[in-house]
Structure 1
Amino acid sequence: MKKIGYCLGIVVFLSSACSEQKQEEKTSPVDFVNPFIGASTSTGAAGVYHGLGKTFPGATTPYGMVQVSPNTITGGDNSPGYSYEHKTIEGFAFTQMSGVGWFGDLGNFLVMPTTGKLKTIAGKEDESIQGYRSSYHKDSEIAKPGYYAVELTDYRINVETTAAPHSGMIRFTFPENKQSRIQIDLARRVGGTAIQQYVSKVDDHTIQGWMKCTPEGGGWGDGEGKADYTVYFYARFSKPLDNYGFWSADIPDGWSRKRDDVVSEQYLRRVEKAEIIKGQTELEGKHLGFFSDFETHENEEVTLQVGISFVDMEGASTNFKSELAGKDFDQVRAEAEKLWNESLSRINVQGGTEDQKTIFYTALYHTMIDPRTYTDVDGRYVGGDKKVHERGTYTKRTIFSGWDVFRSQFPLQTIINPRLVSDQLNSLISLADESGREYFERWELMNAYSGCMIGNPALSVLADAYVKGIRDYDIEKAYQYAVNTSKLFGNDKLGYTGPPFSISNTLEYAYTDWCIAQLAKGMGKAEDEQLFLKKGQAYRNIFDSEKGWFRPKRDDGSWEEWPDSARTKEWYGSIESNPYQQGWFVPHDIPGMIELMGGREKALDDLTHFFEKTPEHMLWNEYYNHANEPVHLVPFLFNHLDAPWMTQKWTRHICEKAYKNSVEGIVGNEDVGQMSAWYVLASAGIHPSCPGSTRYEITSPLFSEVEFALDPDYFEGKSFKIKAHDNSPANVYIQKALLNGQPYNKCYIDFQDIVSGGTLELFMGLQPNEDWGTTLGN
């Protein structure tokens, strides 16, 4: 979810009223998407420092480079730059992160329409420092795939945003005013600042330039995430640049310019006194802005079209000309909506309530934000060596939140978007190659090896793709980098991993070593297979048979002290979890784990207790804590314990309680698609218990029918359907099943059966059928 950090507390939280769009007939997937779901960073509503969903409501396209979204805050632990309960907007940025829990980044090229006297700072929402930010009407906010709109009440300006894959567009409707303006804060960055910027006037309607963002300017992890990138832009105004200018703040060389610094009174007062410069056509500096003044009549529409690139200014210009040139706002919006309908149509659901469909398609929408394209339309991208690379055989992608997304997000994509999985693996392999590191990063952002979180999640994604036949990458090189990763970060030295996260690291390293064994098996490397299967048993080395549970070990081999309530003590040998939550994570050897725990009956009783102690609200807690990833595979363990009706019961419960059609509708950080992917799969009736295996667990679907469209470039089947007969909120238990018309009595299904196409029929009932899907029933 995130590296350790502290959020800004927010006392007031407004709930679900915002999510209501105008009632209209819903005929396509985009009509069911509510981008306000999860759009809050409130720690008050979450009851814990991690906050809630941390999604953004602005306009983007599937896996697009550009996100044109309102921003309400720059500092703190507010990665999306927006939080629903805030009452003012400070601008509309063209890049945005989605759902991350560490101190965020991006939020570049902040555009704000204003009237009256020019102000060079956004100011504070509490009005202790005045600036150009504006109040807005909550009921004027509209968010749909590829579109966002709001009314800025301080200026009586209506703002609409839309996006294309590498570019974005804003349409402003101004009041009558002799001093209307579009201003752009070029230094602005979520969680910090761009340390250097350049802007030049190209012609009477156009500017171009760049913003350089490095760890010295904060950003990802307040600089600890090592994000180092440059955003290039090419921006065209519909109104001529007859009266334009720049502002330039004199920032002393010794000043720190990170997350808290740039929102301090000292810093803001410095920028407030920025020099206003006119009569020049270009400028470079530490803290720049650009503005264009013009006169407007009542309801006059003014547009700004912007191409974005992470390669160079030529790339930004090319992206602009390829996607926006000659198009009006409504055409760009229609094209964005078409892209979303095509992508969201990869899964079709029937049945369920309106809210369930909205939650489902919004979740699917959120799984299609990242990993986003990092390649320009001409095929160029910046590699791990900081050099520009020409078109390859894949689309370079960025924002790989490995520790989160290996569990559900990538197993979902292996079914509906195998090309994306291939792109991501090629991107990770090329990064390891170009950077000279020759190992896989666990959390990548703009080529940065951020080191965020733990484990070796790329190995899981690699093994999962490989065993499912997704292999269009250099597998020999990928395998070598996987082995290198295990040697650098693993249990080799001691046979386990010591403090501070002995349990979490040991278990996750054991699992991803097993993943390497699966690769070795498929590649005919028999000795390696046996070696890594043995290493996969490292989880046994931290199981304390006296305590009956996993226990952290010191580097000298001794146990750490066993405190009161040790199993439910957060951070005791475990990251963002406790031993009770993390200890169930032995997905690659569930029979061995059950044996260690004392056998089926004891493990089943303990797992049942784990769920029964979970609070109804499903927010952050000591038991089944769906708000964070370590437990996401746990509900499917009941299938392995010969109690599949319990998997059916609890996944239905989680879908009902942890997800809602409201701002607070995701109980934890969205985590770059993971929280949503879990819902998409579980509510459809299938979910893996061990990525790297082809087994998907069968559980109780929410819908009467779910159809997955299959990619003909990868799979022989056209589609795979799951039909649930007699399904209802009460009928949550599977009574019997048919696969392609034949009786089916397993509580799991193989990936090959899914992608071969066909139909899985589930017959639902009020009471558990304890014979179906069990060893007794087979």
Structure 2
Amino acid sequence: QFSKAFISYGHKKYDDVKYNGFYRRFNEEHNFPEMAGKNIRAYFDFKTEKDEQIKIKFALSSVSTNGALKNLKAEIPHWNFDQTKKETQQKWNDELSKIVIETETQEQKETFYSALYHTMLSPIIYEDVDGSYRGLDQNIHRSKGFTNYTIFSLWDTYRALHPLFNIIQPARNNDMVKSLMAHYDQSVHKALPIWSHYANENWCMIGYHSVSVIADAIVKGTTDVDLDSALQACVNSSTLSYYDGIDSYMELGYVPEDVSSSSVSKTLEFAYDDWCIAQIADKANDQPTYANYMARSENYVNVYDAEIGYMRPRLADGSWRTAFDPMDTHGQGFIEGNAWNYGLYVPQEIDHMIEMMGGKDEFSSHLDKIFTTEIEDRFIEQNEDITRDGIIGNYVHGNEPGHHIPYLYNWTNDPAKTQARVRMIMKTMYSNKEDGLCGNDDAGQMSAWYIFSALGFYPVLPGSDKYAIGSPMVKKATLHLENGNTLTINTVNQGKENVYVSKVEVNGKAIEGNDLRHNDLVNGGEITFFLQSEPLGN
């Protein structure tokens, strides 16, 4: 919509059109009321006075042009640009002010709020002002009791983005859970989304990680989704036999590499997702389903080769694939990763994984080697998602599968190494500059890792109520929660050298172990990290 009527208009197509049918009878480029094409440019002529400005408003709708006009009238009913700018800035300030921080440097503060901004860019609202939207089945639906969202990059965002929402934006995340369920209801596969993109399923990446998002919200009490319906949707999604080798996975307990590529990654992620489904079944008091999926969650053991000490691709006949290099990130049974990094993805049973790999000291040494062994270019040159910018040794922070790895020292005798690694990653992999991200932000996951880590903890196991302790970057953070509570995170002796945690107190009481619980956060109060320059015990 223009602030003034135009006197003529037109457009030009730059498509490579070989046949234009009977449209050849028209001069489509001038005052022709149809405009369509993949590569077109339009113009509008106005009669103006000297220095006169023409203002433009536009709106979108997945439903109809009438829907777009309704959105336009409801959302920007006036022509006051400064008012619109001010209102938009206020909306963003309201959201970003949900976490108020104090830092040692201005750069740290700018990096933090840039990351927080990134976490709020998607998923996005996908409906008109009257609640209408075009669904996965291409029919027009109307949301009832929720706001419909889209752009779910779930292979990335289940790890930290949705857990972050469950702390600072639980109502919004509840709408997202219901949007996942709406997708399921409209799916001809009767499956939850893998990667939902507007009214489409693009099947990007692996796993069925909608179940993680749903489980995390259920366990943390941030959704009122119907438990039985959610459980059925998760079970259906995890038994879709023709998706990514699930038929073989259910029969053999692993995905064979000669049936479906990236088989080790799929087996590991299916097993984690199955653990999430078990948590939902437990909440729904469905013990047979709980037992079934807890058993499935142990399938990771079927792709661990104890003789070489790595997760490894297996064939349908039960044998190990002989051609295998644990350092290579291409064609070795892992998607966008290698056995060194991706092979440590057993968040649901970390203690048993460590036991399989030789115990706490051996596992800690393995983690050390990930960070200190330089990966050669030949092992990453065929993988566009792994670049030097996001690599420390052989650890890949610029892609999501390894984001939990720095926190795994907490399960060994060396939790101080988690604290040092996390602070080092925040310092070297993030900044307030144009190239301040070490890889694709992937719909907010890369930034969500930073937000959690800067606050001092991280959700290694979404679907549980636990957060692994790290080492906070902030001097102080105040979280204004939707339930009306306020959480204050304090640090004592914060400084660039003081990266080690001597103790953590929740409301004045020292905690035991290396975990915070969800209620420690959302009930409000104070969490205090006591920092020092040497590891505890030195």
> TM-score, normalized by length of structure 2?
0.91
Query: Contact 1:643/1:770 (CA < 8 Å) preserved in 2?
Result: no
1:452 equivalent to 2:212? Answer: no
- Return 5+ residue gaps in structure 2 as ranges: 21-25, 376-386
Evaluate the alpha carbon distance shift between residue 622 and residue 559 of structure 1 in structure 2; reply closer, same or farther with a 3 A threshold: farther
Partner of 1:682: 453
Partner of 2:419: 648
Partner of residue 661 from structure 1, selected from 418, 422, 432: 432
- Return 5+ residue gaps in structure 1 as ranges: 1-235, 256-273, 772-778
Identity between Structure 1 and Structure 2 (%):
36
Query: Contact 1:308/1:319 (CA < 8 Å) preserved in 2?
Result: yes
Q: How does 1:152-551 map to 2 (within 5 A)?
A: 236-248=1-13, 252=17, 277-283=29-35, 288-294=40-46, 299-488=51-240, 489=243, 490=246, 491-499=249-257, 500-551=261-312
Evaluate the alpha carbon distance shift between residue 337 and residue 566 of structure 1 in structure 2; reply closer, same or farther with a 3 A threshold: same
Instruction: Give the drift of 1:620.
Output: 4.2
Q: Which moved more, 1:656-665 or 1:468-477?
A: 468-477
Query: Contact 2:492/2:531 (CA < 8 Å) preserved in 1?
Result: yes
- SS of 1:723's partner is strand
Partner of 2:519: 752
Instruction: Give the drift of 1:613.
Output: 2.9
Matches of 2:129 and 2:302, distance apart in 1: 50
Query: Contact 1:617/1:658 (CA < 8 Å) preserved in 2?
Result: no
Query: Contact 2:6/2:47 (CA < 8 Å) preserved in 1?
Result: no
CA deviation string 1:315-374 (max 9, x = no partner)? 110111112222311111111101000111111111231111111001000100100000
Query: Contact 1:645/1:770 (CA < 8 Å) preserved in 2?
Result: no
Evaluate the alpha carbon distance shift between residue 475 and residue 436 of structure 1 in structure 2; reply closer, same or farther with a 3 A threshold: farther
Partner of 1:704: 475
Matches of 2:11 and 2:19, distance apart in 1: 24
Query: Contact 1:251/1:286 (CA < 8 Å) preserved in 2?
Result: no
Query: Contact 1:370/1:673 (CA < 8 Å) preserved in 2?
Result: yes
Matches of 2:389 and 2:420, distance apart in 1: 15
Evaluate the alpha carbon distance shift between residue 574 and residue 298 of structure 1 in structure 2; reply closer, same or farther with a 3 A threshold: farther
1:741 equivalent to 2:508? Answer: yes
Partner of 1:156: none
Matches of 1:250 and 1:584, distance apart in 2: 49
Instruction: Give the drift of 1:390.
Output: 2.4
Letter of the 2:106 partner, please give it.
E
Partner of 1:761: 528
Matches of 1:440 and 1:347, distance apart in 2: 32
- SS of 1:672's partner is helix
Evaluate the alpha carbon distance shift between residue 659 and residue 283 of structure 1 in structure 2; reply closer, same or farther with a 3 A threshold: closer
CA deviation string 1:465-505 (max 9, x = no partner)? 11101232232122111111111244213210122212101
- SS of 1:651's partner is helix
Query: Contact 1:635/1:650 (CA < 8 Å) preserved in 2?
Result: yes
Letter of the 1:600 partner, please give it.
K
- SS of 2:78's partner is coil
Partner of 2:370: 610
- SS of 2:228's partner is helix
Letter of the 2:8 partner, please give it.
N
Evaluate the alpha carbon distance shift between residue 553 and residue 254 of structure 1 in structure 2; reply closer, same or farther with a 3 A threshold: farther
Matches of 2:197 and 2:329, distance apart in 1: 32
Partner of 1:632: 403
Instruction: Give the drift of 1:246.
Output: 3.2
Query: Contact 1:618/1:657 (CA < 8 Å) preserved in 2?
Result: no
- SS of 1:246's partner is strand
Evaluate the alpha carbon distance shift between residue 300 and residue 609 of structure 1 in structure 2; reply closer, same or farther with a 3 A threshold: same
- SS of 2:54's partner is strand
Partner of residue 673 from structure 1, selected from 444, 448, 451: 444
Matches of 1:620 and 1:448, distance apart in 2: 33
Matches of 1:429 and 1:738, distance apart in 2: 39
1:557 equivalent to 2:318? Answer: yes
Would you say how many aligned residue pairs link Structure 1 and Structure 2? 513
- SS of 1:593's partner is helix
Evaluate the alpha carbon distance shift between residue 546 and residue 275 of structure 1 in structure 2; reply closer, same or farther with a 3 A threshold: farther
CA deviation string 1:372-431 (max 9, x = no partner)? 000111111112221212241111000000000011111111100111221111111111
Matches of 1:318 and 1:753, distance apart in 2: 44
CA deviation string 1:51-71 (max 9, x = no partner)? xxxxxxxxxxxxxxxxxxxxx
Matches of 1:283 and 1:646, distance apart in 2: 60
Query: Contact 2:7/2:47 (CA < 8 Å) preserved in 1?
Result: no
Letter of the 1:725 partner, please give it.
V
Query: Contact 1:614/1:625 (CA < 8 Å) preserved in 2?
Result: no
Evaluate the alpha carbon distance shift between residue 282 and residue 592 of structure 1 in structure 2; reply closer, same or farther with a 3 A threshold: same
Matches of 1:636 and 1:568, distance apart in 2: 23
Structure with higher helix content = 2
Instruction: Give the drift of 1:625.
Output: 0.4
Structure with higher strand content = 1
- SS of 2:59's partner is strand
Instruction: Give the drift of 1:729.
Output: 0.5
> TM-score, normalized by length of structure 1?
0.63
CA deviation string 1:408-455 (max 9, x = no partner)? 111111100111221111111111112332111211101311111011
- SS of 2:395's partner is coil
Instruction: Give the drift of 1:570.
Output: 3.5
CA deviation string 1:171-192 (max 9, x = no partner)? xxxxxxxxxxxxxxxxxxxxxx
Instruction: Give the drift of 1:642.
Output: 3.3
Matches of 1:718 and 1:487, distance apart in 2: 41
Instruction: Give the drift of 1:244.
Output: 1.6
Query: Contact 1:350/1:704 (CA < 8 Å) preserved in 2?
Result: yes
Query: Contact 1:738/1:762 (CA < 8 Å) preserved in 2?
Result: yes
Matches of 2:143 and 2:286, distance apart in 1: 33
Partner of 2:379: none
CA deviation string 1:623-681 (max 9, x = no partner)? 21000001001111111113221111011000000001111110100100000000011
Evaluate the alpha carbon distance shift between residue 316 and residue 460 of structure 1 in structure 2; reply closer, same or farther with a 3 A threshold: same
Matches of 1:622 and 1:494, distance apart in 2: 35
Instruction: Give the drift of 1:303.
Output: 1.4
Instruction: Give the drift of 1:752.
Output: 1.4
Matches of 2:31 and 2:363, distance apart in 1: 75
- SS of 1:496's partner is coil
Instruction: Give the drift of 1:295.
Output: 5.8
Matches of 1:447 and 1:503, distance apart in 2: 30
Matches of 2:510 and 2:193, distance apart in 1: 44
Letter of the 1:667 partner, please give it.
C
Partner of residue 486 from structure 2, selected from 715, 719, 729: 719
Query: Contact 2:360/2:411 (CA < 8 Å) preserved in 1?
Result: no
1:596 equivalent to 2:356? Answer: yes
1:574 equivalent to 2:334? Answer: yes
Instruction: Give the drift of 1:298.
Output: 6.3
Matches of 2:156 and 2:528, distance apart in 1: 31
Letter of the 1:428 partner, please give it.
L
